Amino acid sequence: MDGVCPLCKREDQVLSLAGYWGGLPPSSENYPKLRQPDGATINYLYAVGVAIVGVLLMVAGGWVLGLLVILAGAGWGFVMNRQVTAAEHKRTIWQRSKWCGRCAHVFDPKAF
Ligand SMILES: [Zn+2]
């Protein structure tokens, strides 16, 4: 049921969260509370840097150590990729979320 508040079962005070939040003054109490979650602040360059160090170590002759460092870089990149996906998922839910002005309740219409 799109746009019906799960708490009060009414829809007359229900707004899109993005629209409601966009109309709030930054000094409002709800402004920081309802803000869209940040995307993952992640720098793939660090993982690439680790992989490059691994390659240099391999070239320098320490191939076991170099290989370990490359694997660490790859694992790190994998973990960061998952964090990005999780952060994007939260942002997507925020985009479609609704706000009930009657209950001051935020809900995801797709979750009901
Ligand atoms: Zn409500």
With respect to residue 5, please indicate whether it lies within any of the assigned structural domains. no
Q: What's the gap in Å between 87 CA and the centre of ligand 1?
A: 27
With respect to residue 100, please indicate whether it lies within any of the assigned structural domains. yes
Predicted TM-score (pTM) of this structure: 0.73
With respect to residue 84, please indicate whether it lies within any of the assigned structural domains. yes
Q: Report angle CA 11, 15, 18 to the nearest 5 degrees.
A: 155
Q: What's the gap in Å between 39 CA and the centre of ligand 1?
A: 28
With respect to residue 2, please indicate whether it lies within any of the assigned structural domains. no
The environment of the single-atom ion ligand 1, i.e. residues with CB closer than 5 A, is: 5, 7-8, 100, 102-103
With respect to residue 42, please indicate whether it lies within any of the assigned structural domains. yes
17 by Cβ neighbours in 10 Å (0-12 / 13-18 / 19+) ranks as buried
Q: What's the gap in Å between 100 CA and the centre of ligand 1?
A: 5
Name the domain count of the chain.
Answer: 1
With respect to residue 40, please indicate whether it lies within any of the assigned structural domains. yes
Range of the domain at 58: 14-111
SS3 (DSSP) at 106: strand
Kindly report, residue by residue over 63-108, the tens digit of the pLDDT.
888 999 989 988 988 998 999 999 999 999 999 999 999 999 999 9
With respect to residue 47, please indicate whether it lies within any of the assigned structural domains. yes
With respect to residue 53, please indicate whether it lies within any of the assigned structural domains. yes
Kindly report, residue by residue over 13-44, the tens digit of the pLDDT.
999 999 999 999 999 999 999 999 988 877 77
